[in-house]
Amino acid sequence: MINKINIRINRSRAKYAITLAKSLSPEDRTTLNKVWELCGFKSKKEFEESFKTIYGTTFKDYIDKL
């Protein structure tokens, strides 16, 4: 039960990360590198793992395709 809730929370955070990234300019790499922190993840590793699980690609690759 708790695992399902955590998955839903991480999915919501990942969607928020995409929304933030779309609102930033691609040249603003400093902020893009800290999106994981702004979205409430405990670590960048946790963010990258969750993002890859949900979207099947890394956050950096996803942003580069925008």
| Domain count along the chain | 1
Phi-psi region of 43 (alpha: psi -120 to 50; beta: other; left: phi over 0): beta
What residues in the chain have per-residue pLDDT under 70? none
Identify the domain containing residue 15 by its residue range.
2-65
- Token couple for 51: 């993002």
Q: Domain holding 32: CATH number?
A: 1.10.10.60
Look up the pTM and report it. Answer: 0.86
Q: Are 23 and 35 in contact (CB under 8 A)?
A: no
pLDDT of residue 28: 84
